[in-house]
Structure 1
């Protein structure tokens, strides 16, 4: 039976991925810091998962998880690095703790977990590692600079690691969602996050779960959801100097989208 580990599995995208994997009959190892959320998710699945409570911001906690990947989870077939964090705000307004948290959870921890899982997959010449990155790893915008720095770094690692492991039979992929209807997006919408999240269609967690399955099945280096949003982000990623002159127009469109998003949830825009 295919065994898959998912970080940040307690809610949002991670929970949707877990449900999609459960439908495929995968044996699940669910990782989150919230035991209550994991219990609630487990109750909705067809088969009982293994649950691991782990704070991915703690290097000691992550090292314990890495040790398990090298020992009793050495038979792992799929690793999904889904956990992530964003604290919106101008760089000058964020404290050092916020900076460190972005780099720890969004960049350092996924690299450590992939590095720990790789030797066993290489030995079997089989396996897949997929990371939920973000279009923020393609284009960097104001008030998201630290978040984008962590996601740019993760994208860079995935690109190089993909080249190393592809000849050895191991798939390494990144999934690049646009805005996704999760608690994290709602927090951004109500706490000063970038309105540019709402320029394009807001995706569902199930959309990203489908993209994750596509990455596992195909081994593609990059899977975008939606694909249309990738065209805009990759264009501006190639010509970043164009962002600032066009920002007022983009922000106006994004604010309209933010208001529609909040209205659909019965909330008023601030």
Structure 2
């Protein structure tokens, strides 16, 4: 099995664990017997989740857009006497609308969490995994990684980076005892879209119902994919088909369709 076995000196660190996919991945790992370390900004939400988990949990409140907070994270985690055997980089955010109308601070904050934090935490925790010849990394991207995303240009590009970066990691880690998997979910009803600035109704109008997958199913497929050492996990058959088609469709045809349907580019916004 590619997923390290639980142990008293091991933990699975899950970022963005206060809600949605992150919370469900933490729950799924805990149900498999893993101690989990929950990381997000909201200590209250993390404490509430930790109280529900059967496998033991530690709460580490941290803002992953803050480079100093990320630097301090390994020592805060290792203070418990546990080493990170599983790293789940799930924390993320998105902006909405054309780049020409964007807020530079919001764009940079998104890239800091969606891209820089992923690289930072992999760089900090992978050396220990490789030295112990045991570990698994799950980096959360999106089906947006397989296509441009006008209306969320920075977010789409960030997820394409995560996909490419994690595949490169997997190549580097062959034979090391450590695996790297990219999770690429399609639309999931987690409140993520609302935080980005568009309603569930907007999203459902742009994305067919067949593409929607629950956060619990996404988490189940993600952990299963890690256990099997899969390179890429795309939950939902409709999303796998859509990702494959988007990847090969000429951009001259794809871009006008995507721009027309994206709620962030509606003229009435």
Pairwise TM-score range, normalised by the shorter structure: 0.7 to 0.9
1:235 equivalenced with 2:245 (yes/no): yes
Which residue in 2 is equivalent to 1:244? 255
For 1:184 and 1:234, the matched residues in 2 are separated by: 24
Q: Give the alignment's TM-score, normalised by structure 2.
A: 0.85
Which residue in 1 is equivalent to 2:148? 140
Deviation of residue 74 (structure 1)? 6.5
Q: How many equivalent residue pairs?
A: 253
1:46 equivalenced with 2:46 (yes/no): no
Q: Which has the higher contact order (CA 8 A, sep 6+)?
A: 2
Deviation of residue 43 (structure 1)? 2.0
Q: Is the 8 A contact 2:170 2:181 kept in 1?
A: yes
Q: Is the 8 A contact 1:130 1:215 kept in 2?
A: no
1:219 equivalenced with 2:229 (yes/no): yes
For 1:45 and 1:67, the matched residues in 2 are separated by: 23
1:174 equivalenced with 2:185 (yes/no): no
| Residues 42 and 156 of structure 1: CA distance in aligned 2, closer, same or farther (over 3 Å) | same
RMSD (CA atoms): 2.5
Deviation of residue 214 (structure 1)? 1.6
| Residues 68 and 234 of structure 1: CA distance in aligned 2, closer, same or farther (over 3 Å) | farther
Q: Is the 8 A contact 1:74 1:120 kept in 2?
A: no
Which residue in 1 is equivalent to 2:39? 31
| Residues 9 and 68 of structure 1: CA distance in aligned 2, closer, same or farther (over 3 Å) | same
Bigger Cα displacement from structure 2, 52-61 vs 72-81: 72-81
Q: Is the 8 A contact 1:69 1:117 kept in 2?
A: no
Q: Deviations over 1:196-247 (max 9, x none)?
A: 3446431111011112212220111101011331222232223322213544
**Structure 1 residue matching 2:175: 3-state secondary structure:** helix
**Structure 2 residue matching 1:30: 3-state secondary structure:** strand
For 1:192 and 1:203, the matched residues in 2 are separated by: 16
What residue ranges of structure 1 are gaps of 5+ in the alignment? 256-269
Which residue in 2 is equivalent to 1:190? 199
Q: Is the 8 A contact 2:148 2:255 kept in 1?
A: no
For 2:223 and 2:147, the matched residues in 1 are separated by: 24
Matching residue within 78, 83, 99 for 1:75: 83
Q: Deviations over 1:169-219 (max 9, x none)?
A: 210010010001101134454299665344643111101111221222011
Matching residue within 123, 134, 148 for 1:115: 123
For 1:73 and 1:242, the matched residues in 2 are separated by: 54
Which residue in 2 is equivalent to 1:127? 135
| Residues 113 and 224 of structure 1: CA distance in aligned 2, closer, same or farther (over 3 Å) | same
For 1:56 and 1:142, the matched residues in 2 are separated by: 26
Which residue in 1 is equivalent to 2:157? 149
Bigger Cα displacement from structure 2, 224-233 vs 98-107: 224-233
**Structure 2 residue matching 1:78: 3-state secondary structure:** strand
Which residue in 1 is equivalent to 2:172? 164
For 1:227 and 1:219, the matched residues in 2 are separated by: 20
Deviation of residue 47 (structure 1)? 4.2
For 2:238 and 2:130, the matched residues in 1 are separated by: 34
Q: Is the 8 A contact 2:39 2:61 kept in 1?
A: yes
